[in-house]
Structure 1
Amino acid sequence: MNIFVGNLSYRMQENELESAFAQHGEVQSAKIILDRETGRSRGFGFVEMSNVAEGKAAIEALNGQDVAGRNIVVNEAKPRQSGGPRRRD
């Protein structure tokens, strides 16, 4: 199950994100999205959990909770849209 995690602290590391979710089940991966130009966190990421029931339990337990000083937003990730317009700077 792929889970979106928003409103992350800009100082949060991927291992901290993984640790928060590991309390609720097996985490396959935890990825914080970085800005391409600056390399800094964009304040959101994704967690992949192997078990759907554990993923739903993690969403229920962590959505709105304080993690590293921020109330995080946690929900099931929507599939990525392909073929849409791309931002060009």
Structure 2
Amino acid sequence: MTSKLYVGNLPFEVTEDDLHELFTAHGAVTSANVITDRETGRARGFGFVEMEQADDAQKAIQSLDGQEFKGRNLKVNLAKPREERTGGGGGRGW
């Protein structure tokens, strides 16, 4: 069963390959995504890593949460399920 991890406080220059490599040291990584701004394409400072085994995900959390990576202290924890979004704002609702 895979486990999805939230990775916060990432350096803005970090790539998905960097993230994948960092977490591979703790187990098999299914995917690594750095979230970028839609308009500028610049990294927003957080991402998600999906690991094959829940045990490996827990090891990664214990090892990497609070650790320095490229000058910033990472925040690593289990990702919360994405909340459903309701309709967009700004309209008159007619």
**Alpha-carbon distance in structure 1 between the residues aligned to 2:28 and 2:86:** 33
Q: TM-score, normalised by structure 1?
A: 0.93
Residue 75 (structure 1) aligns with: 77
Matched, 1:3 2:5: yes
Quickly say closer, same or farther: Cα 1:56–1:39, change in 2 above 3 A.
same
Superposition RMSD on alpha carbons, in Å? Answer: 1.3
Provide, for residues 39-87 of structure 1, a one-character-per-residue CA deviation record: whole Å limited to 9, x for no partner.
0000000000010000000011000001111101000000000034656
Q: TM-score, normalised by structure 2?
A: 0.88
Deviation at 1:30, TM superposition (A): 0.3
Percent of aligned pairs with the same residue? 47
Where does the alignment leave 5 or more consecutive residues of structure 2 unmatched? Answer: none
Residue 15 (structure 1) aligns with: 17
**Alpha-carbon distance in structure 2 between the residues aligned to 1:56 and 1:6:** 16
Quickly say closer, same or farther: Cα 1:87–1:63, change in 2 above 3 A.
farther
**Alpha-carbon distance in structure 1 between the residues aligned to 2:40 and 2:89:** 17
